[in-house]
Chains A and B, each alone.
Chain A
Amino acid sequence: MATRTRLSFLLNEARADLETVPTDGTLLEFLRLTRRSTGTKEGCGEGDCGACTVLVGRLRTGRVSYEPVNACIRPLASVDGCHVVTIEHLGGARGTHPLQEAMVGCHGSQCGFCTPGMVMALEANRLADAPVDTETALQGNLCRCTGYGPILRAARTVGEAPMAEDPLVRANARTAARLAEMADGADLELSGPGGTSWLPASIDSFAATLAARPEARIVAGATDFALNLTKRLEVPPALIFTGRVAGFDRIEARDGRLHIGPGVTFAQAMPVLDAHLPQLSALWRRIGGPQVRHAGTLVGNIANGSPIGDGPPVWIALGARLILRHGTERRALAVEDYFIDYGRQDRKPGEFIEELVVPLPENTVLLAAHKVSKRFDEDISAVLGAFHLRREGDVVAEARIAFGGMAGIPKRAAHVEAALTGRPWDEATLHAALPEFARDFTPMDDMRASAEYRLTVARNLLVRVWLASRGVDTDLRELAHV
């Protein structure tokens, strides 16, 4: 397959073709600075406030499927072959969209600065195959003026407008045809003033390209990577993107295991995870907001080596493995062994994670994961505990317990596990296990929590698991409204 050196996508009504694409270029900068399309706002430059939310549509099974995207942390190169929709285009030929009318009618804007992003996030939810409640749809959008009530009312009001009349729905077939015309399956090599971006189209091409350029930084959802651009102001010399690789977005259950490709986003994985690991459903819904879940990948969340990623403790507790690949060579590695030390992972230059393989637990396993953060939604964990207790009768036959936020890496609670293993699952065992946390972890003080709080909460999460297993109600969110 030939290599293409021009970035092409649809921006609202018009096709954009760019011969030069800087490696530090974001979609937001392109919109605001190059195109002077200023309806999309910048609030934070790190994907946390949602003011820059736009829609990115991709061709999926013959139609265009739209996702909410934080333009500020979206590398420009990654929108090849996509339909980028900004607030200015939302109303179509009529000028204003029913959502925009509802926002006016419900007094959904005060200062107006978060408003375009709010509208786009709401529209993404309207267009979604399985729309979620509005509070969840707005997890990634901050408003400092309204208190959100008027925005929630606007979303409710517009719920009655027929989707068939939505300009993006009406234009879907036509847009799909235009995107299909652009879909050439080619590898991309985009050059900019400071470096080069490679966007291979096949797995083999990706492996070969990376093996040939081991210095290239692998970019998946970019929700973490992009901070190198917007905050550390780097101009990376070489980037290689996973997003265009056919097959990287595969997720399937096979032989009692989940096989998850490196391009699978949280949003894409959630229905599959829910089906096979229903105990963890609430956790995934607390990772970022929809914008982050649509961009961030499960594998990237491991690969970047963060001690506070929300996935790794869960995968470690489940005994998941990684398939690492270099060129045509592959090796398997337990997720817990990937993390060597803070900032150090077992991944060689030119190597990438080709697959995350998660064994599905038997019915007798008590599986739970609890995230504790200052704010309930869209926050980084102070502590995240994942518990995998296999019981034989009343006895804990095997315990795998892993925590995030408690050490420089996601780490198992080996002493706690030992105190539980082979013992009856009862109160005496619980109390014997609790002091062991102090042997497993020496957490740190930082802006998210103190060491003391982290240690107390880690212990108490085991208590929570115990109580829940005895049928005690421990879920704040399940409380009936008063």
Chain B
Amino acid sequence: MSDGSAKPELTGTEPVAQESEIPHDSARLHVTGRADYVDDMPEPAGTLHAAIGLATIARGRIAAMDLDAVAAAPGVVAVLTAKDIPGANTASAMGKGVHPLLAEGRVDYHGQPLFLVVAEERMAARRAARLGRIDYAPEPPVLDIAAARTAGAAPIAAGLTVRRGDVAAALESSPRRLSGRMSVGGQEHFYIEGQIALALPREDDELLVYSATQDPGEVQSVVAHMLNLPANAVAVSVRRMGGAFGGKESQPAIFAALAALAADRLKRPVKLRPDRDDDMTITGKRHDFTVDYEIGFTDEGRITGLDATLYARAGHSEDLTRGVADRAVLHVDNAYFYPAARAESRCLFTNTVSNTAFRGYGGPQGIAAAERWIEDIAYTLGMDPLEVRRRNFYGEGARGVTHYHQPVRDNILARVVDELERTSDYQRRRAKVIAFNRGTAGPIRRGIALVPVKFGISYSAKFMNQGAALLSVYRDGSVHISHAGTEMGQGIHTKILQIAASEFGLPLSRVRVTATATDRVPNTVPTSGSLGTDLNGMAVVDAARKIKARLADLVAPGLPTEEIGFEAGEVLTPEGRVGFADLVERAFKSRVSLSATGYYRTPHIHWDRAAGRGSPYLYFTYGASCSEVAVDTLTGEYRVLRTDILQDVGHSINRDIDLGQIEGGFMQGLGWSTTEELWWDGSGRLATHAPSTYKIPLASDRPAVLNIGIAEWSENAAPTVMRSKAVGEPPVMLALSVPGALAMAAASLADYAFPPKLDLPATPERVLAECARQRQMAQRAPGVRAAE
């Protein structure tokens, strides 16, 4: 296993139960309020509480910081600034670029942390944090993509350019071509549990940090660098997070490092839990993008060439922008073959929060743009967008290679789309929608769209494609697992338990996963990219098989391990059945090691970023969704009437967990593409910094009818754990059928003669603006049957 060439067949690794039987491993704790998050852990005696003082301008020099009133406030124990940081003053993910933990001399976004207050009580710290008197020499901030393009500053990270063929020539010789621009908004993660860290000083300058993080290794590294400590002096632990979605990949390091700074300085436990508004103000979000494109196509709707430039708002530091923008470039194909293509990313500096990972990681933005030009083509040619989509699906041979030169070998999209078209009754309903729109005298219009999604699985940063586990069998036969993956609600621990239980033939109750901890499994990569189970599940299999081999060797030396069965709590040896626990005890007495590390690295992937060529993905997942909406063309308000989804998850390890990921991902994508709007005022202050102003979907925003199916027949062609496929991110993009349907409803006002230009998020305001644009064009164009 650890040679990187995983066996294609994992015989005997069927999950203990396949159907709807295995709930989330913490479900009982969740529902009774007994699941402990970091803020729920008993605070050690003497715990102090920290709060962060925030910048109130978006850009400028700090002329002076007068913190006397802060220090003098009731209950305050210490006030710390950048000067108090003994090592590296950086929160930057993987050491990239400049991202000060506390501002040094200048401010680059409104809400940037300036200083840390430590007090006996949380409210005392928060009150004191507002008493700083800062003199700024303000400079005009660069706040958005348009301004950044005008300003023309150097990119914050190198862009990626991917090419195939002669795009200029292809466009030149295209029967048809058009160009456009699309804006795709960012998104606040809105994990319900906010950022938090609790740092405990230990003897000999060691630190233990409880952090709500997807990446304990990164937190450990940032804390150690910040304190000039070796990594072996810092332990980071996370049992679970109350949601993360990418927002706890690089961002938790800020809070963990500041708590650690205070704990180290004061030699007392320090907890830092920012208020929700501060959390939303300080932390990065999904990148908003503007995509400029030119597309060539035939009269039959076949794409001949694409030239696209993707501008990403990075914010004030690089963070994970490069990878996000790379994935956007690698997903501007979505499911479509471009005979000639050039796609390029530009990572723009702005005086706003440093944007970061968010479920989909650039994929949603790239795919949203792809669907925009599909719509352009369809409306220009008067075709059903689904037909245009189909005509451009990847095919065989030369038509089966992406713009970054990876062959699409496992393509099952046509089957997925055909099946969904049938089960959603798309054709009949589309005809009904068109008839309704033709026949109505009222303000309500309808729209329907069926959108496919292809999503690449693996990190393009090759080194990150690794998983690790520590598996221990105790003398009573119970099994304990630590692995590098973190639990944020996605159910990774449940799947890991199933994998381990299946390997050992044990009931789930005999296996336990506890906190992810850097002192048990070192050098973790973040749990992200939908890869948690792919990477760490394989590592657990590797560890389990090592121990199984030792046990097999004990009962049947020389016999291949595969011939020793592990099932129903027993081991099938040549001499007969032995209880697992009995054999384990025998192994212990025979001085056989009962713990093992497991390791996995993804095979078959390679990526040459400089050349923009390679096969960065081990495999693709496929899905499709069909949504129907009703739009009030007087106000732009809308409802999603029905959504049908079919998603490929390979051979599912836990069907209910996968269904939960699909539904939850779809709804999160629905929020991103409809009501979730980030709004900064003219001074660069984020005005949507709380749920009162930032609107994620509610239960009542769920489509009135939501049918979710898994492509049960799919099995991963790539050698993954139990032939499963990653499921975390792809469903986010399934939501794109909703703006597609909204756009159709608006386009009906001009009899579908003009491509809609609905930017995201498609708030009621944007939908109404598009309705107005369509009405205007209908009035100007003779022959178009205008709506009243």
Binding site for B on A (CB under 8 A): 24, 32-33, 36, 38-46, 48-49, 51, 86-88, 90-91, 95-96, 99-100, 103-105, 107-116, 119, 134-136, 138-139, 141-152, 230-231, 233, 372, 374-380, 382, 446-450, 453, 456-457, 460-461, 463-464, 467, 472-474, 476-477, 479, 481-482
In the complex formed, the residue of B with least CB distance to A144 is B243
Residue pair B444, A142 in contact (C-beta under 8 Å): no
Of A138, A450, A473, the contact of B699 (CB 8 Å cutoff): A138
Asked whether B618 is an interface residue with its Cβ less than 8 Å from the other chain, the reply is no
Asked whether B610 is an interface residue with its Cβ less than 8 Å from the other chain, the reply is no
Residue pair A43, B192 in contact (C-beta under 8 Å): yes
Smallest distance from the beta carbon of B233 to chain A beta carbons, Å? 30
* Residues 242-267 (chain B) with a chain A CB within 8 angstroms: 242-245
Given known A-B contacts A44-B690, A48-B690, A463 and B639 have beta carbons under 8 A apart: no
| Stretch of B85-93, B122-130, B340-348, B522-530 lying at the A interface | B122-130
Given known A-B contacts A104-B31, A372-B764, A152 and B699 have beta carbons under 8 A apart: yes
For A136, the chain B residues whose CB sits under 8 A away are: 700
Residue pair A376, B192 in contact (C-beta under 8 Å): no
For A382, the chain B residues whose CB sits under 8 A away are: 765
Smallest distance from the beta carbon of A446 to chain B beta carbons, Å? 7
Of B32, B489, B668, B705, the contact of A88 (CB 8 Å cutoff): B32
Residue pair B442, A473 in contact (C-beta under 8 Å): yes
Bound state CA distance, A445 and B47, in angstroms?
Answer: 44
Given known A-B contacts A111-B240, A147-B667, A473-B442, A139 and B691 have beta carbons under 8 A apart: no
For B375, the chain A residues whose CB sits under 8 A away are: none
In order of increasing CB-CB distance, the 8 nearest A-B pairs are A39-B33, A111-B489, A113-B242, A112-B30, A147-B667, A87-B33, A147-B663, A48-B691
Contacts A99-B31, A111-B193, A482-B429 known; 9 new A-B pairs at CB < 8 A: A38-B33, A49-B192, A111-B240, A111-B243, A116-B30, A119-B31, A446-B687, A474-B444, A482-B628
Bound state CA distance, A91 and B26, in angstroms?
Answer: 17
Residue pair B690, A114 in contact (C-beta under 8 Å): no
Smallest distance from the beta carbon of B300 to chain A beta carbons, Å? 31
Residue pair B692, A380 in contact (C-beta under 8 Å): yes
For A477, the chain B residues whose CB sits under 8 A away are: 639
Of A105, A109, A378, the contact of B698 (CB 8 Å cutoff): A378
Bound state CA distance, A149 and B643, in angstroms?
Answer: 13
Asked whether B136 is an interface residue with its Cβ less than 8 Å from the other chain, the reply is no
For B698, the chain A residues whose CB sits under 8 A away are: 135, 138-139, 141-142, 148, 375-378
Smallest distance from the beta carbon of A318 to chain B beta carbons, Å? 23
Given known A-B contacts A107-B657, A111-B241, A148 and B667 have beta carbons under 8 A apart: yes
In the complex formed, the residue of B with least CB distance to A150 is B660
In the complex formed, the residue of A with least CB distance to B123 is A233
The 12 sampled A-B contact pairs (Cβ below 8 Å) are A38-B40, A41-B193, A96-B31, A107-B23, A110-B490, A111-B191, A112-B242, A152-B702, A375-B695, A376-B700, A380-B693, A479-B639
Given known A-B contacts A110-B489, A142-B696, A464 and B27 have beta carbons under 8 A apart: no
- Report B599-631 CB contacts with A as 1/0, cut-off 8 Å: 000000000000000000000000000001010
For B39, the chain A residues whose CB sits under 8 A away are: 32, 38, 42
Bound state CA distance, A44 and B192, in angstroms?
Answer: 8
For A147, the chain B residues whose CB sits under 8 A away are: 660, 663-668, 697, 702, 706
Binding site for A on B (CB under 8 A): 23-24, 26-37, 39-40, 42, 122-123, 126-127, 130, 189-194, 240-245, 275-277, 429, 432, 441-444, 488-491, 628, 630, 632, 634-639, 641-642, 656-657, 659-660, 663-668, 675, 677, 679, 681, 687-688, 690-693, 695-702, 704-706, 708, 763-765, 768-769, 772
Residue pair B664, A145 in contact (C-beta under 8 Å): yes
Residue pair B632, A109 in contact (C-beta under 8 Å): no
Residue pair B441, A472 in contact (C-beta under 8 Å): yes
Bound state CA distance, A86 and B34, in angstroms?
Answer: 12
Residue pair A104, B27 in contact (C-beta under 8 Å): yes
Residue pair A374, B243 in contact (C-beta under 8 Å): no
Bound state CA distance, A108 and B698, in angstroms?
Answer: 15
Of A110, A113, A134, A476, the contact of B444 (CB 8 Å cutoff): A476
Residue pair B31, A233 in contact (C-beta under 8 Å): no
For A142, the chain B residues whose CB sits under 8 A away are: 190, 192, 691, 696, 698
Given known A-B contacts A447-B679, A482-B628, A46 and B692 have beta carbons under 8 A apart: yes
For A113, the chain B residues whose CB sits under 8 A away are: 37, 191-193, 242-243, 489
In the complex formed, the residue of A with least CB distance to B489 is A111
Given known A-B contacts A103-B31, A111-B193, A476-B632, A448 and B693 have beta carbons under 8 A apart: yes
Residue pair B240, A112 in contact (C-beta under 8 Å): yes
In the complex formed, the residue of B with least CB distance to A89 is B33
Bound state CA distance, A142 and B701, in angstroms?
Answer: 11
Residue pair B699, A141 in contact (C-beta under 8 Å): yes
Residue pair B30, A476 in contact (C-beta under 8 Å): no
In the complex formed, the residue of A with least CB distance to B695 is A375
In the complex formed, the residue of A with least CB distance to B682 is A445
Residue pair B688, A447 in contact (C-beta under 8 Å): yes
Given known A-B contacts A39-B32, A233-B126, A376 and B639 have beta carbons under 8 A apart: yes
For B769, the chain A residues whose CB sits under 8 A away are: 453
Residue pair A456, B42 in contact (C-beta under 8 Å): no
For A141, the chain B residues whose CB sits under 8 A away are: 698-699
In the complex formed, the residue of A with least CB distance to B687 is A447
Q: Which one of B275, B667, B699, B765 has the highest number of Cβ atoms from chain A below 10 Å of its Cβ?
A: B699
Residue pair A374, B764 in contact (C-beta under 8 Å): yes
Residue pair B663, A112 in contact (C-beta under 8 Å): no
Q: Which one of B656, B660, B675, B696 has the highest number of Cβ atoms from chain A below 10 Å of its Cβ?
A: B660
Residue pair B706, A149 in contact (C-beta under 8 Å): yes
Smallest distance from the beta carbon of A456 to chain B beta carbons, Å? 7
Given known A-B contacts A114-B192, A142-B190, A135 and B699 have beta carbons under 8 A apart: yes
Of B23, B190, B634, B690, the contact of A464 (CB 8 Å cutoff): B634
Of A374, A464, A479, the contact of B675 (CB 8 Å cutoff): A374
For A38, the chain B residues whose CB sits under 8 A away are: 33, 36, 39-40
Given known A-B contacts A144-B192, A461-B635, A231 and B275 have beta carbons under 8 A apart: yes
Residue pair B641, A482 in contact (C-beta under 8 Å): yes
For B442, the chain A residues whose CB sits under 8 A away are: 467, 472-474
Given known A-B contacts A48-B692, A113-B243, A482 and B705 have beta carbons under 8 A apart: yes
For A472, the chain B residues whose CB sits under 8 A away are: 441-443
Q: Which one of B429, B632, B638, B657 has the highest number of Cβ atoms from chain A below 10 Å of its Cβ?
A: B632
Bound state CA distance, A482 and B429, in angstroms?
Answer: 9
Given known A-B contacts A144-B243, A476-B630, A109 and B768 have beta carbons under 8 A apart: no
